[in-house]
Amino acid sequence: MFSSLSLLNEYESEEELIENVHPENTSPRLPLPNSFKLVSQEEVKDDPKKHEGRIRSYPHQRGNWNSLIYVPCMRNLVNKSYFAPYLFKHKNRKNGPFDLLRDQIIDLCQPKIEMKKIEEPHISLTRTFILLYHWIDDFVAAVKKSLGIMLRYDVQFDGLKIYCNEERNRTFLAMSVGFGKMEITKSVQLLDKCLSEYKLHPFYNEASFHMSFLWCLGDKKKELEELLPEMNKVFEANLNDSFDVTIPVTRYICKIGNKMYNINLK
């Protein structure tokens, strides 16, 4: 006759035996290689030296995608048929009179301030925001549906203004939007509703719509504002038959990471 203690010991021994027996035709899982562990745990560090001294507004995190919705401007600024004679004469300026304007302003600011060209000038319709990967498809679909009522329109720039980013580590020279504000404002309102569904920040309350085309490191707003009257003279001197600051807006771009989504207007 077994005692209670011996029965308990026998039960525990059988349980241990069952746990240590692997079913037939199966093998224990192999440990994850160290290289994979490093990939999943490694923190991505940005080197400002690789980006002309620029610093990210948001730290890089896996699964988070920096995003922005904007009006693309460069193609419409430089794809003018009447640029052909100018481009033939000034082959080093691939973007026509727009490059001439930028070069003249860069020369005006030197040597005190080193201004650099923005490769793809645009008019922002949102702040930079973060999307999680699994939000992307639904978010893009919602944006396209919301902006589906927008008709094509024209934008005209009416002067130069100075802007500094929220971190105060970059300063921009921009053309301010004159004609076309009503359509841009309507677009921003529609986009703000989409952003609110994902608890993302809306656009600025007192929005000043503009297209930045030159930038420099640091907060140089005061120094550039001292030069603003001279820069506006350069801007006005370039307004002629070969440099039109009215552009047609036929689409928006939703940029998520390195991927571009076209949002065509009616």
Give a yes or no: residue 50 inside a domain: no
> Structurally, how many domains does the chain consist of?
1
User: In this predicted model, what pLDDT tens digit does every residue of 66-118 receive, in sequence order?
Assistant: 999 999 998 777 655 444 444 445 555 555 788 889 999 999 999 999 999 99
Q: What is the 3-state secondary structure (H, E, C) of 214-266?
A: EEEECCCHHHHHHHHHHHHHHHHHCCECCECCEEEECEEEEEECCEEEEEECC
Give a yes or no: residue 87 inside a domain: yes
The residue annotated as part of the active site, out of 51, 60, 90, 210, is: 210
- Let me know if 51 is a catalytic residue: no
Give a yes or no: residue 2 inside a domain: no
Give a yes or no: residue 159 inside a domain: yes
H helical segments located in 66-180: 74-78, 84-89, 97-109, 136-146
Provide the residue range defining the domain that includes 209: 56-264
- Let me know if 90 is a catalytic residue: no
Give a yes or no: residue 13 inside a domain: no
The residue annotated as part of the active site, out of 51, 122, 134, 201, is: 122
Per-residue pLDDT tens listing for the chain (266 residues): 444 444 444 444 443 333 344 444 445 555 554 433 433 444 555 555 654 555 555 565 677 999 999 999 987 776 554 444 444 455 555 557 888 899 999 999 999 999 999 999 999 999 999 999 999 999 999 999 999 999 999 999 999 999 999 899 999 999 999 999 999 999 999 999 999 999 999 999 989 999 999 999 999 999 999 999 999 999 998 886 567 788 999 999 999 999 999 999 99
Kindly report the CATH number assigned to the domain that includes residue 95.
Answer: 3.90.1140.10
This prediction's pTM: 0.76
Q: Distance between CA atoms of 175 and 108, rounded to whole angstroms? A: 17
